[in-house]
């Protein structure tokens, strides 16, 4: 199945989904938050059996966080990205652990770095940071330079 | 290398021992550790300098802080350094212990290692080549000869200063808590042998 | 008067000789391993530098009186065992039962190590010590069977008589007179020396040096010396039992060096066996070969 065929299959079954093939080997599907689980089920049934990563983009001007689920199909060697947007204030989303069990670690990292709560994830405890106080550091309102200067006494670069 | 200089050895045998038998604690603190396996294997043989890796901090007297130091790693480094026996030498390896290196504005790495543990020498580079490590070892020998490699004495004399810096970034480190989270230098007595 | 002088000279010279030889063997081991790995390696006197460094460390962490006592017991046990093993003509404390005495005294070293490791309060040390004792259980079976076979064949329990029975010509050496026990002991020699493939008790990468994990400074110096003495004892026993001992110190040292170099070469190329694999090996072929040797020795006697 080529990327165009996959795009057609998704567009047929989920009309609210915006699908694009930016270049060979890539497939991007954007969907409102209610449709993400159905989209992931669809992709998994179509051969995308491997969840590689869950990443997050902070659209601070639009007031939204974009969750990107990176899926890989070994058979067709296509990298699919399922995207959805959630609100930036007290972000909550469902956990996809029933679909991909190892999503637990990625959701734990996003909880720590962006503050997103994933309902259904049993282990949203700190992983990388050590007794962190303050807002989640990957959010754009976090002042990285000021924090580094105050905590560690960093020197400004000469230029 | 004046390892075979018998007169010099007889005048200061302790220095002779400390120089030519530097046992590095094999604690891979950061990404810089990728440069250590080539150094200790056959091509750039470090054993001819007397440097061999040691599995436990009780037996090592050289601590190479390789690469960036995140806060969690700093806790482990402090615990390891406290367990090593005097005289002990610390060498900051790579740009990150010097001034933060590539992660100079990161929220989770320390920028100046010598605020938290005393450092006897630095090797700059990202990553330094094995030849740089050997040059650093010979410089450390010169320092030991002159008695200038006294980081361990500075640690004991300025213990409050170092503890204050450590406490600022790691308030929950075991040696400060004292009550709930006692992580003493030896393993706690409640640890049992696995079945 | 003459014998008393010889006795005193032997008692002083033998431990000194054992220390010197064992430290030299440590250096030889590192140098030859390095050359096998196609690199230069440290000088032959590197263990001397190491021991000097360890003894001049200004801080020594002790874990209590049992910790100190264990290490000293191991070192003292090694020294005592050394004076019972004839070394190229020197045998100050030879009696009629000294082979049995040596076999008992050889257990003092692991016992001392176990005491020290138990006082260490570190689970790695406990794991290392348990592995050490299980490994000892493994190699003691074939080794004791071989020892019994040798004692039966030469009809003596004195090491000096075993050595003198092999004097004469090369064909009277133990390897030709009692070939099966010799083969069995050679097969368990790496286990007795604690080198690969049987160094599971002191695995640096796995259990952080096992029993020696909490030893630093002068304790590690003593532990290193005790380990070196243990090597000397095992190799000297092998030479005395199966290679004809030594008419003088020079031939004795040459034979010890030859056996030791074979051990170093095995150590350099072998991986490490797990404990159950090691035990399975030690109780299978070496034990069977030793048993066969014992049966042959008994049958040849009567």
User: Do residue B72 and residue A130 have CB atoms under 8 angstroms apart?
Assistant: yes
- Substitution target in A127, A154, A158 with the highest count of B β-carbons within 10 Å is A154
Considering only CB atoms, which residues of chain B are within 8 Å of chain A? 70-72, 75, 99-100, 104-112, 115, 168-172
pLDDT in tens, A30-89: 999 999 999 999 999 999 999 999 999 999 999 999 999 999 999 999 999 999 999 999
- Nearest of C259, C281, C297 to residue C180 by alpha carbon: C297
Helix, strand, coil % over all residues of chain C, rounded to 5: 75, 0, 25
Contact residues, chain B, for C40 at CB < 8 Å: 45, 48
Instruction: Note which residues in 20-39 of chain A have CB less than 8 A from chain B.
Output: none
Choose among A144, A155, A157: nearest Cβ to B107.
Answer: A144
pLDDT confidence bin for A153, thresholds 50/70/90: confident
Higher pLDDT, B148 or C246: B148
Residue B189 has pLDDT above 50, yes or no: no
Query: Can you give the pLDDT at residue B194?
Result: 42
Contact residues, chain C, for B82 at CB < 8 Å: none
Phi/psi at A86 (nearest 5 deg)? Answer: -130, 165
Lowest model confidence (mean pLDDT) among A135-139, B145-149, C90-94: C90-94
Mean pLDDT for all residues in chain A: 91
Q: How far is C119 from chain B (nearest CA, A)?
A: 11
Query: Can you give the pLDDT at residue B5?
Result: 84
Structure tokens at B86: 């005097």
Q: How far is B104 from chain A (nearest CA, A)?
A: 7
User: Do residue C121 and residue B85 have CB atoms under 8 angstroms apart?
Assistant: no
Q: What is the ipTM of this complex?
A: 0.86
Query: Can you give the pLDDT at residue B185?
Result: 43
Is the Cβ of C97 closer than 8 Å to some Cβ of chain B? no
- Substitution target in B76, B77, B99, B107 with the highest count of A β-carbons within 10 Å is B107
Please tell me which residue of chain C has the smallest CA distance to B189. Answer: C121
Please tell me which residue of chain C has the smallest CA distance to B52. Answer: C42
DSSP string, C232-297: HHHHHHHHHHHS---SSHHHHHHHHHHHHHHHHHHHHH-----HHHHHHHHTTHHHHHHHHHHHHH
Chain C: list its partners (3+ Cβ pairs within 8 Å).
B
Query: Can you give the pLDDT at residue A156?
Result: 67
Domains of chain B: 17-177 (3.40.50.12280)
Mean pLDDT for all residues in chain B: 87
Question: For the domain A3-128, what is the CATH code?
Answer: 3.30.460.80
Q: How far is A74 from chain B (nearest CA, A)?
A: 30
Is the Cβ of A145 closer than 8 Å to some Cβ of chain B? yes
pLDDT confidence bin for A158, thresholds 50/70/90: low
Residue B170 has pLDDT above 50, yes or no: yes
Query: Can you give the pLDDT at residue C88?
Result: 81
User: Do residue B111 and residue A148 have CB atoms under 8 angstroms apart?
Assistant: yes
How many other CB atoms are there within 10 angstroms of residue B43's CB atom? 9
**Burial bucket for residue C132 (CB in 10 Å: 0-12, 13-18, 19+):** buried
Q: What is the mean pLDDT of each run of 10 residues along chain C (302 residues)?
A: 77 90 94 94 93 91 90 92 86 82 89 90 90 92 94 89 85 88 94 90 80 89 92 94 87 94 94 93 95 93 78
Taking the alpha carbons at both ends of chain B, their separation in whole angstroms is 49
Chain B: list its partners (3+ Cβ pairs within 8 Å).
A, C
Identify whether B127 is preceded by a cis peptide bond (ω within 30 of 0).
yes
How many other CB atoms are there within 10 angstroms of residue B23's CB atom? 20
Tokens 């051990």 identify what position? C263
Is the Cβ of C217 closer than 8 Å to some Cβ of chain B? yes
pLDDT confidence bin for B178, thresholds 50/70/90: low
Chain A: list its partners (3+ Cβ pairs within 8 Å).
B
Q: How far is A150 from chain B (nearest CA, A)?
A: 10
Q: How far is A18 from chain B (nearest CA, A)?
A: 36
Structure tokens at B1: 């290398």
Beta carbons within 8 Å of C79's beta carbon, 6+ residues apart: C15, C18, C229
Choose among B3, B185, B187: nearest Cβ to C43.
Answer: B3
pLDDT in tens, C50-100: 999 999 998 888 888 999 999 999 999 999 999 899 888 788 777 778 899
Q: What's A15's DSSP letter?
A: T
pTM of the full predicted structure?
0.88
Sequence ranges of the domains in chain A:
3-128
Q: How far is B90 from chain A (nearest CA, A)?
A: 20
Q: How far is CA C125 from CA A141, C116, C202, in A?
A: 50, 9, 9
Residue B190 has pLDDT above 50, yes or no: no
Helix (H) or strand (E) segment spanning residue C194: none
User: Do residue C209 and residue B42 have CB atoms under 8 angstroms apart?
Assistant: no
Q: How far is B158 from chain C (nearest CA, A)?
A: 18
């Amino acid at each position: 199945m080529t990327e165009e065929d996959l795009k057609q299959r998704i567009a047929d079954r989920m009309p609210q989904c915006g699908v694009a093939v930016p270049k060979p080997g890539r497939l991007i599907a954007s969907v409102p938050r209610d449709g993400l689980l159905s989209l992931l089920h669809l992709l998994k049934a179509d051969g995308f059996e491997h969840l590689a990563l869950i990443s997050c983009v902070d659209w601070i001007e639009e007031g939204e966080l974009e969750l990107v689920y990176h899926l890989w199909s070994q058979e067709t060697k296509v990298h699919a990205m399922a995207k959805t947007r959630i609100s930036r204030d007290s972000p909550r989303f469902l956990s996809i652990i029933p679909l991909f069990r190892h999503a637990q670690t990625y959701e734990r990292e996003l909880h720590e770095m962006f503050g997103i709560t994933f309902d259904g994830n049993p282990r949203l405890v700190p992983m990388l940071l050590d007794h962190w106080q303050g807002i989640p550091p990957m959010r754009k309102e976090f002042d990285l330079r000021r924090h580094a200067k105050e905590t560690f006494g960093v020197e400004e670069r000469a230029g | 290398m004046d390892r075979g200089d018998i007169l010099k050895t007889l005048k200061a045998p302790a220095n002779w021992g400390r120089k030519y038998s530097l046992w590095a604690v094999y604690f891979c603190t950061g990404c810089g550790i990728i440069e250590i396996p080539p150094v200790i294997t056959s091509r750039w043989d470090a054993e001819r300098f007397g440097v061999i890796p040691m599995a436990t901090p009780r037996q090592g007297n050289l601590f190479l802080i390789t690469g960036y130091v995140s806060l969690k790693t700093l806790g482990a480094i402090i615990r390891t350094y406290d367990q090593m026996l005097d005289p002990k030498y610390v060498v900051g390896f790579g740009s990150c212990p010097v001034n933060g290196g590539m992660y100079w504005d990161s929220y989770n790495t320390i920028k100046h290692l010598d605020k938290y543990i005393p450092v006897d020498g630095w090797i700059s580079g990202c990553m330094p080549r094995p030849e740089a490590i050997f040059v650093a070892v010979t410089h450390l020998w010169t320092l030991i000869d002159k008695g200038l490699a006294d980081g361990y004495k500075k640690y004991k004399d300025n213990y409050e200063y170092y503890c204050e810096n450590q406490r600022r970034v790691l308030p929950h480190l075991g040696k400060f808590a004292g009550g709930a989270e006692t992580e003493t230098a030896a393993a706690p007595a409640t640890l049992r042998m696995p079945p | 008067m003459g014998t008393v002088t010889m006795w005193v000279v032997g008692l002083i010279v033998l431990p000194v000789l054992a220390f010197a030889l064992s430290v030299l063997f440590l250096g030889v081991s590192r140098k030859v391993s390095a050359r096998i790995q196609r690199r230069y390696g440290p000088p032959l006197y590197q263990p001397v530098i190491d021991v000097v460094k360890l003894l001049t460390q200004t801080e020594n962490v002790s874990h209590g009186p049992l910790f100190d006592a264990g290490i000293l017991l191991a070192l003292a046990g090694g020294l005592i065992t050394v004076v019972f093993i004839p070394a190229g003509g020197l045998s100050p404390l030879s009696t009629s039962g000294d082979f049995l005495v040596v076999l008992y005294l050889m257990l003092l070293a692991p016992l001392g190590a176990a005491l020290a490791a138990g006082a260490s309060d570190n689970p790695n040390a406990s794991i290392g010590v348990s592995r050490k004792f299980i490994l000892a259980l493994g190699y003691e079976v074939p080794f004791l069977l071989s020892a019994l076979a040798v004692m039966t064949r030469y009809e003596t329990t004195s090491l000096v008589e075993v050595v003198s029975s092999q004097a004469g010509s090369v064909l009277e050496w133990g390897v030709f007179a009692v070939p099966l026990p010799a083969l069995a002991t050679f097969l368990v020699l790496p286990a007795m020396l604690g080198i690969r493939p049987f160094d599971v008790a002191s695995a640096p990468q796995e259990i952080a040096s096992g029993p020696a994990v909490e030893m630093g400074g002068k304790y590690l110096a003593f532990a290193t010396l005790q380990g070196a003495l243990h090597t000397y004892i095992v190799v000297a026993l092998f030479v005395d039992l199966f290679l004809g001992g030594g008419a003088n110190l020079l031939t004795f040292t040459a034979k010890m060096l030859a056996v030791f170099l074979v051990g170093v070469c095995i150590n350099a190329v072998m991986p490490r066996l797990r404990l159950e694999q090691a035990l399975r090996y030690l109780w299978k072929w070496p034990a069977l070969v030793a048993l066969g040797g014992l049966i042959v020795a008994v049958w040849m006697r009567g």
